[in-house]
A and B are shown apart, each in its own frame.
Chain A
Amino acid sequence: MVRHRIPVTLEEALEHLNETTYKIIAGGTDLMVQNRAWSELPPKFDAPLLFCFNLEALKYVKEENAFIKIGSMTDLETLLHHPLTPEILRKVIYEMASPAIRKVSTLSGNIGNASPAADSLLALYALDAKVEIKSQKETRLSTVSELILGPRKTALKQNEIITEIIIPKSSFTQTCFVKVGGRRADAISKVAFVGCASVENNVIKDIRMTINAVAARLIRRQDIEKGLCEKTPDEVKQNVNAILEAYSTSIQPIDDQRSNKDYRKYTANNLIKAFLNTL
C-alpha cells in the first residue's frame, strides 16, 4: 500500500525523501492529469506522493542583492501580481492557462515536469534562471537549462527537491512574448517565443531569444545571440535570413494533434524575424 505524505516543514519533506522514493507533487496540475484514473477513483500513481504545495517556508518572493528569489511553492497567480516579478516572466504568466490553474501552478512544477511546450520556461531560460536544490545533506545550484534533460526528464536526484528559483536581475530596453495556441486563452502552445534585448546608442548590448514546442527541449542559442551583440539593429535586420538559417538546425518540430511541423517552423521563423525587426 502506497503511503502518501503531507509534510508540514521542509525538513520533514527532506527527511521523507531521504528514506524512500517519493514523487514530489506541487499543485498537481500536470501530474493529476497525467495519472488520471476513471472518475471517482484515486489517480494511478506508481510511487508514494510527497505533497509539498502547502510548505509555507517555500512560498515567498524576495529581492537579494542582484537576484530575485522565488520560493519553489509560490503559485503563478501570486507571481503575476507580485511587484518583484521580472517583467517578461509576468508577460508570460499572464497568458498561461487560466486564473484557476495559475493559482495552483508553480515554476518548480513546470521545471520538474519538463514539458517542451511549457511557457514559463521560456522566460526562465531567457533570464538565465538558476534553481536551488536541496537534499537532507546538501544544497546545490543548477541552471534551469542544465536541470532539464529532455521531455519529462530532469537531473533531479531521488532525494532532492527544488527549493528556490533564482533570477538574476536584468534590465532590457525591450521584451516580447508571443504565444501561438489553438485559441487566444487557456491553450497549450503550438509555438511560443520570448525575446529580450537591450539596445543602447543604436548598438545591441544584450539579446536573448527562446522558443518552445519546436524541439524536444526549449531552444536558446547563446552562440547566435553573442554574434548579434555589438551590432546595430540595422545590421541585424539586413542579416535576418542568415540568422534564421543558423536557428534552423535547432528548430526541428513535429506533427501532433495541435499543429504540424511546417506551421511550427514557419511561425517560429516569423516570430524571430518580427522581434528582430522591432529592434
Chain B
Amino acid sequence: MTKITFTFNGKPIELHTDPSRRFLDVIRNDLKHTGPKEGCGEGECGACAVLINGHIVNSCILPLANVHHQEVMTIEGFSKTKRYAVIEEAFIKEGAVQCGICIPGMIIAVESLLNRNPNPSDEEIRVGLSGNLCRCTGYNMIVKAVLRAKEMGKGLW
C-alpha cells in the first residue's frame, strides 16, 4: 500500500493502494469512470487513452505510481469543456462514430493533437491519431471531423 495523490478531472484524489496497478483499472474500478475502455491491454489500440498534464497517454500500461502528483483528465472530465463541445459537434456532423468503442480515446487523441498543433494538415492528423485504432470507419470521416473541428474551434487551442 502506498499513498498516491493526483488531480482527477480537476479534483484532488488520494488513494492507498498498490502503485504497480494499471491506471486503467484504478480509473474504472476505484474511481468508477468507464469512459476509458480496454481494447488490447498493451498500449496498442488507444481505447484507454487519458490526458496526463494535457498529453495523451495509454492508461492500460501506465502504472498508477506514474500519475503521482500529476494532472489527469478522462473523457468524462474533458466532456465538460468548450473544446470538447467543438470536437463532439464535428464528429457528429461528419458521421465519424460507428461502434464507438475507440471514440473516447480518439477524442482524447484529437485534444492532445490540437493542443500541440492547432492547425494540423491531413497527414499530421493521421500521424497524430496513429496510436488509436478504429476498425469501423477506415478513419476517413474521423480525419474530416478533425479538419472541421480545427476550423470551428479556431482560437480555442
CB–CB B63/A32 < 8 A? yes
- The verdict on A100 contacting B20 (CB below 8 Å), with A6-B65, A185-B127 known, is no
- Which residue of A36, A40, A104 contacts B66 across the interface (Cβ within 8 Å)? A104
Interface of A, secondary structure class, is loop
User: Within B1-38, which residues are at the interface with A (CB < 8 Å)?
Assistant: 2, 4, 18-22, 25, 29, 38
Q: At the interface, yes or no: A39 with Cβ under 8 Å from chain B?
A: yes
- Which residue of B25, B70, B116, B131 contacts A100 across the interface (Cβ within 8 Å)? B131
Contacts of B68 in A (CB 8 A): 6, 51, 54
Q: At the interface, yes or no: A99 with Cβ under 8 Å from chain B?
A: yes
Give the bracket for the number of chain B residues in contact with chain A.
35 or more
- What total count of A-B pairs have CB within 8 Å? 104
- Which residue of B2, B42, B113 contacts A6 across the interface (Cβ within 8 Å)? B2
Interface residues of A (CB under 8 A from B): 4-6, 25, 27-29, 32-33, 36, 39-40, 42-43, 45, 49, 51, 53-54, 77, 81, 97-101, 103-104, 185-186
Interface residues of B (CB under 8 A from A): 2, 4, 18-22, 25, 29, 38, 41-44, 46, 49, 52, 55-58, 61-63, 65-66, 68-70, 109, 112-113, 116, 126-128, 130-132
Which 9 pairs between the two chains have the least Cβ-Cβ distance? A98-B131, A185-B130, A51-B65, A32-B61, A100-B56, A33-B42, A100-B131, A100-B58, A40-B25
